[in-house]
Amino acid sequence: MAQPLLCSDCEARLNRHGEKWVLSKGYRLQGPSPLYAALSNASPDPAFPSGTVYSALAVPDINIDQLVYFGASIFWRASVADWRLNRKPAELVWLGSPYEEQFRQYLHGDAEFPANAVLWVAVARSEHPSPVFAFPAGERVGSYHRHTFDVLGLSYMLYVGNCLPEEVRRLCAVRSPNRYMFFTDIDPIIDRNFRRRFSESPPSPKLAALREKDLSEFPQIVRDQMANLAKARCGRKGPKSSAM
């Protein structure tokens, strides 16, 4: 999924402020990622009994600004263009015109992170996380919207709205005093996001064929993920009807 979107200067800016750093610290085919190693050697914030919330400011090898910028850039790019996958329209996320402009200004360095937006960042607590990429997707939750995407051992949640709950704001990677992030098992999150995404579209013959395909040449983790996706899609009788 690719198309011309930005000028070379803007592409370079996105790369310099987020993409290059995140991709260099993320998923590895061999051995744990630098992000995993950095958080494994750190201690969780004692204010959270779960042991999964960390202050990015207390971990020297974590650049939370780069992580935030990368996540924001993915959500913004998903919203501002009409994307196509396999020559068909791909429904990703729509932030809405006001938020698109606010994020554009933030990414361009002209404004702060939008006031009515919260970003959560999670790193997989696994040396070998699921090697998957989930395109950005969104849903309405009460009075606000929640958008998600997953990429190779990282999971992002973006909340936008005028009435975001305090428990959501408290864990914002941008504005919480300790710049919080999560170090946890994100496979259930990834599975949830995939199931929601695939439940919104009708099954295809190619995915149906996954149930019959010989997957023995793939690693076990990939075989499990592909089989789960095929099962989730093929178990449906048809697309959901829209509700107003």
Do 82 and 112 lie in one domain? The reply is yes
The SS3 call for residue 156 is: strand
Could you say which of 142, 158, 186 is where a domain stops?
A: 186
Helix 64-80 × helix 97-108 angle, to 10°? 140
In this predicted structure, the answer to whether residue 232 has a pLDDT above a threshold of 60 is no
Helices (H) and strands (E) in the chain, counts: 9, 8
Over residues 16-33, the pLDDT tens digits come to: 999 999 999 988 777 799
Residue 238, C-beta contacts closer than 8 angstroms, at least 6 positions apart: 202
The reply to whether 234 falls in a domain is yes
The residue range of the domain holding 212 is 201-244
Flag whether 192 is in a domain.
no
Asked whether residue 51 is domain-assigned, the answer is yes
Residue 240 has pLDDT above 50, yes or no: no
**pLDDT tens for residues 150-199?**
888 899 999 999 999 999 999 999 999 999 999 998 766 666 655 555 55
Whether 138 is covered by a domain: the verdict is: yes
Same domain, 67 and 109: yes
Residues 150 and 209 in one domain: no
Place of tokens 């974590």: 62
Share of the chain above pLDDT 70, in %: 70
Q: Hey, is 117 helix, strand or coil?
A: strand
Verify that 47 and 141 share a domain, yes or no: yes
- 31 by DSSP, 3-state: which? coil
CA angle 219, 224, 230 (to 5 degrees): 125
Asked if residue 148 and residue 211 are part of one domain, the reply reads: no
- Would residue 194 count as lying in a domain? no
Same domain (yes/no): 84, 170: yes
Nearest to 22 by CA among 32, 34, 31: 34
In a domain, 191, yes or no: no
Total Cβ atoms within 10 A of residue 86: 8
Instruction: Tell whether 174 and 207 lie within a shared domain.
Output: no
Do 36 and 106 share a domain, yes or no?
Answer: yes
Instruction: Lowest mean pLDDT of 130-139, 219-228, 230-239, name the range.
Output: 230-239
Is residue 196 in a domain? no
Q: Using alpha carbons, select from 75, 31, 13, 239 the residue that is nearest to residue 83.
A: 75
Taking the alpha carbons at both ends of the chain, their separation in whole angstroms is: 30
Q: Please count the structural domains in the chain.
A: 2
**Domain-embedded: residue 2:** no
> In whole angstroms, how large is the CA radius of gyration of the chain?
18
Residues 215 and 140 occupy one common structural domain: no
Question: Helix, strand, coil shares of the chain as percentages rounded to 5?
Answer: 40, 20, 45
Same domain, 126 and 235: no
In a shared domain, residues 179 and 211: no
pLDDT tens figures, 78-131: 888 765 666 666 667 889 899 999 999 999 999 999 999 999 999 999 888 877
Residue 60 and residue 97 share a domain: yes
